[in-house]
């Protein structure tokens, strides 16, 4: 059994990798092991909502990346219109030798208790898919592989087109695309909040509560919108306002 230090190291070493080495393939056996980890994920009602498509064919991978680029156009336009700034992820994943598509079967909601069906069916469904997905990323990291969350795969345009391209039947949903391969270059860890800032003992410690200004500072510096800590924060009102209508 893995010890806590190994698990902590595994968690801390996983990265979202957006550039892949097109010269390095990965064996089928690795992919099978990764998916075998994923199927042990917990899920509401043990409904196991996940199914996986493994894609190696280069033509299909490139078609997928082209669909991604097309849906990015709308996304970028919306970012620019609302926020005046659009730092988008690219299509570097097209070079990853394997694309995994995580599908979800919403019929598993029938495994939930009646009340759960009424008030948390969607949340349980997606939590199961997220759990399996995280195990895929961790398993890939444990094998020295790079992976990425491509959640845009479930945007209406891309999901529709992917379902046609890959012959996915109704009522299955496309959840995420996960490229697998080797990183084209090492990536430093992205910022994380300090453990003591987010942990409360016995009851909520209001001294740790982030007011709106502190929260905005977090969004505009440490998050991806804050370019992972590379964006400077100015202590005046020239920073991004909270109301998108006022965005530059």
Ligand X SMILES: Cc1cc2nc3c(=O)[nH]c(=O)nc-3n(C[C@H](O)[C@H](O)[C@H](O)COP(=O)(O)O)c2cc1C
> Residue 106 Cβ, how far from ligand X at the closest point, in Å?
18
In the chain, % helix, strand, coil (3-state, to 5) comes to: 50, 10, 40
Taking the least distance from each CB to ligand X, the nearer of 35 and 129 is 129
Grouping H, G, I as helix, E, B as strand and the rest as coil, residue 122 is helix
| The one among 147, 148, 221, 240 contacting ligand X by CB under 6 A | 148
What are the structure tokens assigned to 147, written together? 């992976």
> Residue 143 Cβ, how far from ligand X at the closest point, in Å?
17
151 binds ligand X (CB under 6 A): yes
> Residue 223 Cβ, how far from ligand X at the closest point, in Å?
7
CA distances from 38 to 14, 35, 59, 61, 93 (A): 16, 5, 27, 22, 21
Which 153-212 positions form the footprint of ligand X (CB under 6 A)?
Answer: 190
CA 176-100-133 angle, 5° bins: 50
Which 75-134 positions form the footprint of ligand X (CB under 6 A)?
Answer: 89
Q: Which residues contact 110 (CB under 8 A, 6 or more apart)?
A: 47, 117
> Residue 151 Cβ, how far from ligand X at the closest point, in Å?
3
70 binds ligand X (CB under 6 A): no
Taking the least distance from each CB to ligand X, the nearer of 11 and 82 is 11
Distance CA 38, CA 50 (A): 9
| The one among 150, 158, 174, 222 contacting ligand X by CB under 6 A | 150
> Residue 51 Cβ, how far from ligand X at the closest point, in Å?
19
152 binds ligand X (CB under 6 A): yes
Among the residue ranges 33-41, 54-62, 142-150, 201-209, the one whose residues contact ligand X (CB under 6 A) = 142-150
Q: Give the total of residues touching ligand X (CB under 6 A).
A: 11
Q: In what order do the strands lie in the sheet with 146-147?
A: 50-55, 98-104, 173-181, 146-147
What are the structure tokens assigned to 183, written together? 């990183």
Q: Which residues bind ligand X (CB under 6 A)?
A: 15-16, 18, 89, 148-152, 190, 224
């Amino acid at each position: 059994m893995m010890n806590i230090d190994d698990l902590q190291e595994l968690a801390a070493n996983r990265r979202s990798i957006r550039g892949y080495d097109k010269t390095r393939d990965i064996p089928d056996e690795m992919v099978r092991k990764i998916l075998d980890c994923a199927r042990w994920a917990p899920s509401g009602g043990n409904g196991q909502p996940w199914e996986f498509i493994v894609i190696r064919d280069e033509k299909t991978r490139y078609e997928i990346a082209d669909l991604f680029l097309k849906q990015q156009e709308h996304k970028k336009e919306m970012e620019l219109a609302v926020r005046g700034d659009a730092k988008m992820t690219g299509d570097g994943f097209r070079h990853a030798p394997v694309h995994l598509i995580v599908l979800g079967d919403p019929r598993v909601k029938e495994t939930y208790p009646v009340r759960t069906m009424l008030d948390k069916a969607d949340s349980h469904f997606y939590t199961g898919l997220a759990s399996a997905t995280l195990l895929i990323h961790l398993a890939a990291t444990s094998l020295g592989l790079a992976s990425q969350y491509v959640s845009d795969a479930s945007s209406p345009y891309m999901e529709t087109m992917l379902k046609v391209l890959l012959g996915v039947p109704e009522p299955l949903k496309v959840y995420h695309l996960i490229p697998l391969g080797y990183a084209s270059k090492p990536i430093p860890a992205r910022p994380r909040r300090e453990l003591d800032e987010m942990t409360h003992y016995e009851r909520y410690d209001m001294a740790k509560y982030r007011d709106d200004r502190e929260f905005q500072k977090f969004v505009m510096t440490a998050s991806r919108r804050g370019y992972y800590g590379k964006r400077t924060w100015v202590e005046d009102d020239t920073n991004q306002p909270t109301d998108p209508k006022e965005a530059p």
